[in-house]
Amino acid sequence: MTVETTDKGAASAAPAYDIQKILNALPHRYPLLLVDRVKSLEIGERIHAVKGVTFNEQFFQGHFPGRPIMPGVLQIEALAQTAAILAIETLELAGSGKLVYFMSIDEAKFRAPVEPGVLLDLEVGFVQKRTRVCKFWGKASIEGKVTCEVQFTAMVADPPQG
């Protein structure tokens, strides 16, 4: 299945993967939900999502006063959340209650600062996929300029018992 949306949010091949579907797929909520829309999704292959970065983000209060920059670790978290959507769709985990947890972060490189007022493109693809462990590549960019590149591994598991 491939989902693609136009800039106006209308679906060209399937229903849009909008914020409601993202909220249904991910357990994250404000202030840590870092994916606003999925632009395209190729099951088993790759995903392209976006994060609208605004000055109202909680982390800009302290990072840094007078020169707000999105922390690199949050760029990686946004890529990981995007990867979780790809894994949930590919492995058909929707509604299972399973969570996707980081296992490792490798080769992280930060290329350019991310400031308020931009759309951060989040592109993620599989390097390797298994039932319980998947490895991904990820790239964040603004208008084609790469801000962050990373490879990471994640594990599919049951949520902690509380």
Residues assigned a catalytic role: 63
Token pair recorded at residue 117: 């007022």
Rg (CA), the chain: 15
The C-alpha atoms of residue 37 and residue 34 are separated, in whole angstroms, by: 10
- Who contacts 133 (Cβ-Cβ below 8 Å, separation ≥6)? 103, 153, 154, 155, 156
Tokens 């769709």 correspond to what residue? Answer: 89
Where would I find the H helices in 46-118?
72-90
147: exposed, middle or buried (Cβ count in 10 Å: 0-12, 13-18, 19+): buried
- Contact in structure between 74 and 59 (CB atoms under 8 Å): yes
Question: Taking the mean position of all CA atoms in its chain, how far away is CA 30?
Answer: 14
